[in-house]
Structure 1
Amino acid sequence: AMMDCKDIDECKQTGACPELSHCFNTAGSFHCDCWGGYHYNGTRCEDINECSVGTFTCPDNSTCHNKEGGYNCSCNSGFLYSNNSLCLDVDECATGKAQCPNASNCQNTAGWYFCECWDGYAGNQTVCEDVDECLNNSTCSDHSVCVNTEGSFLCLCDHGFSSNGTSSTRCEDIDECSHPEFGPLCTHGTCINTVGSFYCDCHKGFWSNHTRCLDIDECEKNESICQPHSTCVNILGSYECNCNLGYTGNGTYCKDIDECSKSPLRCHKSSQCINTPGSYVCVCAPGLIALGSLCVDLDECQSNRGGCHPAATCYNSAGGFQCQCGNGWNVSTRNGHGMDGCLPLFTF
């Protein structure tokens, strides 16, 4: 009789296939297939490291992480997973996640950011400090002073120089002589421009203190500049010689004025006008004395009886006096003056 042979389902037998595999029964046999993410190494099913062998599919800007039977993709730092399975860059500058120091600008990059110090500042990601441009001697041009400021610098032109308008670091000489802002310079002279300043070339009669023309006081500078009997009077740019009181002339020659010949009424009628250099005097006649502008009689008898003899009497008169000897006395040749002015009539 024929035997009815049936296929044995080996998959129902324990241990037919290794762990982590599927068992597939076939007619008269079976075969084992490792699960997805695993491969058979001859004895067992072991995990396939897709990240190592390169059989993974991850979006740009992400990293493959192996796991049992598969792998995961995680966005790199600075990137964020989106709904369309992409890792998009995170703009840390726009979201406020960036931490930049003062005096810097945040610049976003793929996956990160960096802090860029402003012009005039230098440093790193944590601090930006002002750069002192003035430490470099070539920062400003000649004829200027460098002044450091926060984040920048200034070139201040020296006195007599100014910026030419096209560069803040170049200073050019100011021609003060032709610059309308300075107005007329060097009155009584000629303005000559110099580097950084100007000079006044003064006219005759003036001296230059460099930027102004000042009057020369010729009278103080030379006391003998005028002729005798004249006085020096300084005027702007020159001088004059004026004859002194009592003299006449044009200043270069002065002669005495004879006041006595000009007017006979200058003196009292009882006096004589005598001319002197630059003036005159009035001399009263003998027996008269000056009392102000008058000539009055001098009573000689009041002073020691006029010097008459003791036996004589002094009689005052206009412009003089007399000594008259008393009774018993004769007048000598001295007219009663002195001790021998009177002689006795009788001698014993």
Structure 2
Amino acid sequence: MLCGRRRGFRLYSPARMLAALVFILLCLHPAHGQTCTDGFAFDRRSRQCIDVDECRTLPDACRGDMRCVNQNGGYLCLPRTLYSQPFRPDPPVLPEPGYPDTAVGFQDTVFPSPVRPGEPSYPRLRPTAHCVLGYSLAEDGTCNDIDECETNSHHCNPTQVCINTSGGYTCSCTEGFWLLGGQCQDIDECRYGYCQQLCANVPGSYSCSCNPGFILNPDSRTCQDVDECEDEPCSHGCFNTYGSFMCNCDEGFELEADGRTCIDLNECGFSEFLCQHRCVNTPGSFSCICPPGYYVYEDGRSCEDINECETGNNTCTTAQVCFNFQGGYTCLDPLQCPRPYVEVSENQCMCSAENPACRDEPFTILYRHMDLSSGRSVPADIFQMQATTRYPGAFYIFQIKSGNDGREFYMRQTSNVSATLVLSRPITGPKTVVLDLEMVTVNNVINFRGSSIIRLTIFVSEHPF
């Protein structure tokens, strides 16, 4: 016959302890066997099972304010207050418990009589106990375990969980809690780095979450980067980054304040010198426009003059001569020399010395044409004049005879036989200026004085290019 073992049963109230009846059933194996029930150990010398003193062999068998009392086949945990009552110096000796005859079966254990007044209050054990503490006698005579958790006869505090064991129970804590000071305290999992990024502690558990730009992996702890570009958040280009993304714009566009939308970049507002003439903004770009008489050069910004005389895109007749200047052209009529001048070439008139009417007139008038950009920087050398015939003993004087009403020009003599026309003040076009540049020839040896004229027509353009 096997019997259960009473271990660690604690009575927390002395009154309850005194009121309880504890029964101990001593179980012994025959001496010829080497296997003993719980609470007994086989002694080779006596060749029988003897009681194990758990109070001495088990470390901390009873906890708190409880005292361990060894019993045959088990032990009791009793309040120490039971031993603090006054007692007589010579307490009665309890008789040794009787052991059953191993040959004929078990017999009832002999227990001490009730204590007398003044003696320590030890619990009294009733005879004829069939089940150890933690078990109840069934109708069929067997001992069944008492489920203290189900019958609510345990002493676990409200924060603990009762776990039934054979002959007793255990007070434990649920997952996410630990026992601290007799109470189940919540474990703060966030302190131990359970989550990769964000952690929120809750009673008995925790919750992980991720920063913006990440999603929680199926393990509910680690985070994975989100490729925001898959949802096309940018109006133009998108570049995914760790935990975020960046938008970029096509050439000619700039990113708006929201960091996602691309708006047209007004390149024309950057500088007034982007185009030589006029800048026109276009979506994502710009274009340069030139005034009539010009075309946009290969660089896309500069304006180049259209030579209407070469392209044939002019209105001149066959009798006229087409003269191109910056931004336009003009049709020159055939030369007609005023009297008393006669034409000696297509651009020169002469007044003969034999003709009395020519005595006070320049000997020749040579017609020349040139163009000039509006607002040209000054000073600037724009035309050169030089004597083609030299006479011994003669010298030459160069001057502006007419047409310089605004004093924009002056003559600078560069040698005995040449001079340069200098622009001294800017001229704004469109404008046509006609200058008579005179070269006076003086020869004191033969007492001669004569002059020649270059009639220079200057076409000043409307634009500075």
TM-score, structure 1 normalization = 0.50
Residue 86 of structure 1 aligns with an amino acid whose one-letter code is: Q
CA contact (8 A) 1:186 1:200 kept: yes
Is the 1:198–1:211 Cα contact (8 Å) retained in structure 2? no
Partners of 1:59 and 1:119 in 2: how far apart?
43
Partners of 1:156 and 1:57 lie apart in 2 by 69
Q: How far did residue 202 of structure 1 move?
A: 4.2
Q: Matched residue of 2:212: which SS?
A: coil
Matched, 1:157 2:249: yes
- Code of the residue aligned with 2:335 in structure 1: it is K
Cα offsets for 1:208-260 (capped at 9, x unmatched) = 5897462342247615746778574442xx1355xxxxxxxxx6224284168
Q: Among residues 205, 212, 234, which one is paired with 1:119 in the alignment? A: 212
Determine which of 163, 167, 189 is the counterpart of 1:69. 167
Number of the residue aligned with 1:196:
284
The equivalent residue for 2:332 is 252
1:88 to 185, 194, 211: 185
> SS of the counterpart of 2:332?
coil
Q: Structure 2 vs 1, CA of residues 253 and 63 (structure 1 numbering), >3 Å: closer, same or farther?
A: same
Q: Aligned-pair distance for 1:205? A: 2.6
Among 205, 217, 221, the alignment partner of 2:293 is: 205
Measured against aligned partners, the alpha-carbon deviations of 1:102-145 in whole angstroms (never above 9, x if no partner) come to: xx3344343344443332223343653322221223x223xx21
Are the equivalent residues in 1 in contact too, given 2:295–2:306 (CA < 8 A)?
no
Letter in 1 for 2:333: Y
1:250-280 CA-partner distances (Å, limit 9, x unpaired)? x622428416844679xxxxxxxxxxxx9xx
Residue 146 of structure 1 aligns to a residue in which SS? Answer: strand
1:24 matched to 2:117: no
Q: Which amino acid aligns with 1:105?
A: L
Name the counterpart of 1:222.
311
> Partner of 1:132 in structure 2?
227
Structure 2 match to 1:172: 263
> Which residue identity is paired with 1:41?
A
CA RMSD in angstroms, aligned pairs only: 4.5
- 1:263–1:111 CA distance, 2 compared to 1 (3 A): farther
Residues 224/24 of structure 1: CA separation in 2 closer, same or farther (3 Å cut): closer
The alpha-carbon deviation at position 57 of structure 1 amounts to 4.8
Does the CA contact (< 8 Å) of 2:320 and 2:332 recur in 1?
no
Q: 1:20-75 deviations in whole A, cap 9, x for unaligned? A: x97437xxxxx859665332323254321223444445456654322233211222
2:237 is matched with which residue?
145
Aligned mates of 1:60, 1:220 — CA distance in 2: 111
The alignment status of 1:78 with 2:176, answered yes or no, reads yes
What are the ranges of 5 or more consecutive residues in structure 1 without an aligned counterpart? 1-10, 26-30, 242-250, 266-277, 279-292, 294-348
Q: What is the letter of the counterpart of residue 174 of structure 2?
A: N
Distance (Å, rounded) in 2 between the aligned partners of 1:220 and 1:111: 97
- Residues 309 and 324, structure 2, Cα contact 8 Å, conserved in 1: no
Identity of aligned residues (%): 32
Is the deviation greater in 55-64 or in 66-75? Answer: 55-64
TM-score normalised by the chain length of structure 2? 0.39
- The structure with more radius of gyration: 1
Q: Does structure 2 retain, via aligned residues, the 8 Å contact 1:193–1:199? A: yes
**CA deviation after TM superposition for structure 1 residue 182, in Å:** 4.6
1:32 to 1:185, Cα distance in 2 relative to 1, 3 A:
same
Indicate how the Cα distance of structure 1 residues 183 and 155 shifts in structure 2: closer, same or farther if over 3 A, else same: farther
Shift of 1:91: 1.6
Contact 1:22 / 1:34 at 8 angstroms: preserved in 2?
A: no
Structure 2: distance between partners of 1:150 and 1:34: 69
Q: Which has the higher contact order (CA 8 A, sep 6+)?
A: 2
For 1:34 and 1:22, how far apart are their aligned partners in 2? Answer: 16
In 2, distance between residues paired with 1:186 and 1:61?
Answer: 83
- Structure 2 residue ranges without an equivalent (≥5): 1-96, 101-105, 110-122, 337-342, 355-366, 368-388, 390-465
The number of residues matched between the two structures is: 229
1:68-89 CA-partner distances (Å, limit 9, x unpaired): 3321122233322111x22112
Deviation at 1:163, TM superposition (A): 3.3
Partners of 1:34 and 1:130 in 2: CA distance: 65
1:315-345 deviation digits (Å, cap 9, x = unpaired)? xxxxxxxxxxxxxxxxxxxxxxxxxxxxxxx
Supply the AA of the counterpart residue of 1:118. N
CA distance in 2, matches of 1:57, 1:208: 100
| Correspondent of 1:39 among 128, 132, 136 | 136
